[in-house]
Structure 1
Amino acid sequence: MNNGVANQATRCFRRLFDAFQKRVKEQNPHAELHFRHVQPRNLGELPDDDVDIVLSSGGPGSPFDGYEDPWGVGFRKLMDRVVEANLRDADRAPRMFAVCYSFELAVLHFGVAEMSKRDTLKFGVMPAYVTDEGQESDYYSPFGYRLFSWEHRSWEAINLNAAKLASIGGKVTAVESHAGSKVNTGDAILGFDFAPGIQGTQFHPEADRAGVMAWIEKPEHTVQVEAAYGRILYEKMLKSLADPDRLARTFALLIPGWLTYRFNELAPARGWKPLAAPEFDIQQFDIAV
């Protein structure tokens, strides 16, 4: 969904897939996994009909741009096919995880909240608060009530349509702030289990420290961060990146966990051995760049 704009997300998703593929092959030497990078917005590509797992990335841009274009209509039909297949035969149906821009498209398509333009860009290593229902989702299980991730967004999901969400079997899994917070305030919804087969987050669980540092250390971005948050908070953000319980832990466990649990749901019908839940290995996930 990056519309042909070079960014770190593609590298990060590929890094996560390669690690996942290695784990699958260790348990299932004869299983065949195929990775395909498709580009809907700029090339009009969409996943094949027989795909098992879809990781759909962030933008840039407004979620309304191209919404009715052929690629937008095709992507929304894909989401409907995923849900319909899961309702029909969940043991063999595809799964999708939607990040940032793709998350925003899902919010609009399913009508579970409003997408509103923010007055300012929100970016940085930020907390997300996992709801009680979110903590029941398997891929959030390592985090408890809070995790840290990279945010970079001009839009936000607000004004939950709880009745619509309940009608399609969804739930809110993460939010921007929690009751009584005086520091991390905001009304944005940051995570949904939208409907059977489709989960997603507004934040970037695929972001690793190397990618964030590559962004922050560009002179024009350093100025942007300091202008928005001040030098003290800029330095705190850099310190936060070195904390293994923050960004690195989310990178190591959230999407790898989601991939693992979705694989395990599909495994019995294909005769595959299930995978153990991923563990956080500090050396493997590059706490120090």
Structure 2
Amino acid sequence: MKDIRIALLDMNNNKVNQGFKNIKEISETFQRRYVGGNVTIKTFDVRFKNEIPEIEDFDIFISSGGPGDPHEGLEWEDKFARFLDGIFEHNQSYSNKKYLFLICHSFQLASIHWKLGTINKRKSYSFGVMPVHKTEEGEQEFLFKNLPDPFYAVDSRAFQFIEPDYKRFEELGMKIIAIEKFRPHIDLERAVMAVRFSEEIFGTQFHPEANPEGMMENLKDEKNKEAMIENFGMEKYLETIDRIDDEDKISLTQAQILPRFLDFAKQNIVNRTNVLM
């Protein structure tokens, strides 16, 4: 019997967020289906209460998206940076690996911390169901195994990761796994949408936890609706609403990426021993 401990890092700064609700639901589904021990789930309010989990107390960490500028320079960001280094260094030293999934705001913070490229403000807020394109490395990514190219995911961001430092990626052994849609008529660099930070650490700029119900709830926010119409036009907005629950779009993405990450972590956790490498 092997117990698994999951820490959910809430980056929403005391704001109600559909994405975090979805993360909890996916984690609770994993909890119900786990055979062989107990799964405990604990939430940490990183930004509002300055809470960070102790690395040794948990096996799996999922760090959410959230609003605002990833360059605020507040105390909690320093604690989160130490947390990132702690996970990375632990996994280099011990066989009992720690597994971390970083979403949107958390993904941006990690990319800034490890100096992987430019994370700057977009010209306009992006919100909608976007095609995400795999890179060559992404074609080999097991979390994307059952997804087409491109696959579809919910995008919700005011900031973006562009101009990756490929030398830095090579130095740290990290890989760009996905990029945003190529738009030749727009003179802007394609943003990085997913990074394999290590075998145990993965991150996405998009929201793999999103589901059609949550997307519809978010579109009740006038800011999100206006951003989607501005980016895609009214016709595309109406088409998206009509097809939002298609089984081959965000429902497929939600069913694959985070559940596969949790299953991968589980398989390694149940077979591990707590010894030095």
Change (3 A) 1:82 1:231: same
Once the two structures are TM-superposed, the CA of residue 262 in structure 1 deviates from its matched residue by 1.6
Equivalent residue letter for 2:255: A
Q: Structure 1 unaligned runs (5+)?
A: 271-289
Q: How does 1:16-55 map to 2 (within 5 A)?
A: 16-24=26-34, 27-28=35-36, 31-50=37-56, 51-55=58-62
Match 1:210 to one of 210, 213, 222:
213
* Partner residue in 1 for 2:3: none
Equivalent residue letter for 2:63: S
* Partner residue in 2 for 1:114: 118
| Alignment check: 8 A CA contact 1:176 1:189 kept | yes
Equivalent residue letter for 1:234: Y
Change (3 A) 1:228 1:144: closer
Cα distance in 2 between the residues matched to 1:227 and 1:80 = 39
Q: How does 1:173-212 map to 2 (within 5 A)?
A: 173-178=177-182, 186-212=189-215
Over aligned residue pairs, what C-alpha RMSD do you find?
2.0
Cα distance in 1 between the residues matched to 2:39 and 2:250 = 28
| Alignment check: 8 A CA contact 1:138 1:261 kept | no
Match 1:56 to one of 63, 77, 94:
63
Equivalent residue letter for 2:233: G
* Partner residue in 2 for 1:82: 87
SS at match of 1:160: coil
* Partner residue in 2 for 1:157: 161
Once the two structures are TM-superposed, the CA of residue 46 in structure 1 deviates from its matched residue by 0.6
TM-score, reference length from structure 1: 0.85
| Alignment check: 8 A CA contact 1:86 1:196 kept | no
Once the two structures are TM-superposed, the CA of residue 203 in structure 1 deviates from its matched residue by 0.3
Q: Does 1:11 align with 2:21?
A: yes
Cα distance in 1 between the residues matched to 2:181 and 2:265 = 28
Cα distance in 2 between the residues matched to 1:76 and 1:169 = 19
Equivalent residue letter for 2:18: Q
SS at match of 2:130: strand
Cα distance in 2 between the residues matched to 1:256 and 1:97 = 11
TM-score, reference length from structure 2: 0.88
Once the two structures are TM-superposed, the CA of residue 253 in structure 1 deviates from its matched residue by 0.9
Q: Does 1:133 align with 2:137?
A: yes
* Partner residue in 1 for 2:272: 269
Once the two structures are TM-superposed, the CA of residue 221 in structure 1 deviates from its matched residue by 4.3
| Alignment check: 8 A CA contact 1:131 1:145 kept | no
Cα distance in 2 between the residues matched to 1:121 and 1:215 = 14
- For residues 170-205 of structure 1, give each alpha carbon's deviation from its aligned partner in whole angstroms, at most 9, with x where no partner exists: 100100135x8669x851000001234321000000
Once the two structures are TM-superposed, the CA of residue 166 in structure 1 deviates from its matched residue by 1.1
Cα distance in 2 between the residues matched to 1:137 and 1:267 = 22
Tell me the number of residue pairs that the alignment of Structure 1 and Structure 2 aligns.
262
| Alignment check: 8 A CA contact 2:134 2:177 kept | yes
| Alignment check: 8 A CA contact 2:162 2:189 kept | no
Once the two structures are TM-superposed, the CA of residue 37 in structure 1 deviates from its matched residue by 0.9
Q: Structure 2 unaligned runs (5+)?
A: 1-10
Question: How many percent identity over aligned positions?
Answer: 26
Match 2:101 to one of 97, 101, 104:
97
Query: Which portions of structure 1, spanning 4 or more consecutive aligned residues, are displaced by more than 6 angstroms?
Result: 180-183
Cα distance in 1 between the residues matched to 2:114 and 2:198 = 9
SS at match of 1:34: strand
Q: Does 1:257 align with 2:264?
A: no
Cα distance in 2 between the residues matched to 1:158 and 1:227 = 21
